[in-house]
Structure 1
Amino acid sequence: MSDPDGIPEAATIDDIYEQLEALEETVDDPTEQTEVRRTMTLLDRVAHNGAVGRVITEFTGKDKAEAFLGSVIIGMPLLVEDGVIEIGEFLAETPAFFVANGALAVVMVVGILYIADFREVRITDPYLGVVPRRPLWVLGIACGTATAMMTLWGRVTWEDPWVNLCQVSVIVTAMAIGGSLGDILPGER
């Protein structure tokens, strides 16, 4: 089915290529023809490099490294902000908000990985038959990275474990978002 302009509702790479071929025939300026040909070459490369239409099913060591890198890139600026400490203290005073913050991290990770449709990601071989590997690893990497960095940099001393856990959870939430994006956006071949 097409819209009124004759563009198919479910357009494919081939449809785009055909449109570019038609455009190439109609332009008469050599510079414009060269630009159309360059665009066609670029489209051909994109279509054959595996990034378009590829379904992500595995979770490899490379994915874990990308999740770690995404966590660090997003979380690093927050580690030096005193607001994180204050937010953590607030969460410690209001345990329901601490739980809500944890739930937010899980929902954001699942949403980015499976719902936001950046890339098609499928759940394969879940732990115990129900727990998807990818979000569990992304959350685990974010948690481990946040805990290690906040401890290493003296942001938490663990003298008051509950308050420090709440402070770390603020960074975990941000790092989990970064880890999700770091995992799925770079793409794989």
Structure 2
Amino acid sequence: MSESGDDGDERRGRTVDRDDDPPDMGDLYDELESLADAVDDPAERERVAAAMRTAAAVEPVGVFGRIVREFDRGDAAEALLGSALFGIPMLVEGGTGEVGEFLATHPLSVAATYAFTVAAVVGILYVSDIQDVRVTHRLFGIVPRRLAGVLGISLAFAVVSMTAWGRVDWTTPVVAIAAISVAWVPMAIGAALGDILPGT
């Protein structure tokens, strides 16, 4: 009996290691995705798609271990809240402007700061194991909508808040852009964490 069971697992393209960690909802979702690729009949594909939607909607106990798929208004609000929580200390801290003035004389450092911010958000959303974040929609077929939303919301909050609170002077745009790059780092990280930690 065990041999036939193992053969069945191998036919489905995977082998079972009894020493592996117990499967979770992400593993189930992966199996359903593989099954959807193998099914040819449209009616059966729709049944598998319905099962995938059901699996994604199941909410296990606790905050972690959920499958995060859509990016809606609730996620946008969470990203904005995360930006504010992590960013307001940067708005009242005088060191933000001082670092911005230094970076303004080092354009490569400004570019590196923006690149680091994007890389940090990508790492939080898609590389770390904080949550099982799935890419379901892409802008222009390239950029995941969640990534664009988190980065865009946090950058907009950085620009608006730094301007409204008089932390930047747009008569010196290079210094303003550099100072915003400094404030954007924690704001973007806060937006990413605020978005995925509730597991929505």
Matches within 5 A, 1:93-132: 93-132=105-144
Tell me how far 1:52 sits from its aligned partner.
5.7
Tell me how far 1:91 sits from its aligned partner.
1.2
- TM-score normalised by the chain length of structure 1: 0.74
Matches within 5 A, 1:136-151: 136-151=148-163
Tell me how far 1:53 sits from its aligned partner.
4.1
In 2: Cα distance, 1:118 partner to 1:159 partner:
41
Gap regions ≥5 residues in structure 2: 1-16, 25-58
1:61 aligns to what?
Answer: 73
In 2: Cα distance, 1:84 partner to 1:52 partner:
33
Amino acid at match of 2:101: E
Question: Which 4+ residue blocks in structure 1 deviate beyond 2 angstroms?
Answer: 47-54
1:11 counterpart (9, 19, 22)? 22
In 2: Cα distance, 1:160 partner to 1:111 partner:
33
In 1: Cα distance, 2:138 partner to 2:113 partner:
25
Matches within 5 A, 1:69-84: 69-84=81-96
2:192 aligns to what?
Answer: 180
Does structure 1 retain, via aligned residues, the 8 Å contact 2:60–2:66? no
2:97 aligns to what?
Answer: 85
- TM-score normalised by the chain length of structure 2: 0.70
**Mean CA deviation greater in 123-132 or 107-116:** 123-132
Tell me how far 1:128 sits from its aligned partner.
1.0
In 1: Cα distance, 2:64 partner to 2:166 partner:
44
SS of residue in 1 equivalent to 2:124: helix
Gap regions ≥5 residues in structure 1: 3-7, 14-46
SS of residue in 2 equivalent to 1:179: helix
SS of residue in 1 equivalent to 2:143: coil
In 1: Cα distance, 2:65 partner to 2:182 partner:
35
Deviations 1:111-154 (A, max 9, x none): 00000110001111201111111111111111111111111111
Amino acid at match of 1:152: A
Tell me how far 1:49 sits from its aligned partner.
4.6
SS of residue in 1 equivalent to 2:122: helix
Amino acid at match of 2:123: G
Between the aligned residues of both structures, percent identity stands at: 47
1:159 aligns to what?
Answer: 171
In 2: Cα distance, 1:51 partner to 1:164 partner:
38
Q: How many residues align?
A: 151
State the Cα RMSD in Å. Answer: 2.0
Does structure 1 retain, via aligned residues, the 8 Å contact 2:63–2:198? no
Deviations 1:1-28 (A, max 9, x none): 55xxxxx531358xxxxxxxxxxxxxxx
In 2: Cα distance, 1:128 partner to 1:73 partner:
31
Matches within 5 A, 1:15-54: 48-49=60-61, 53-54=65-66
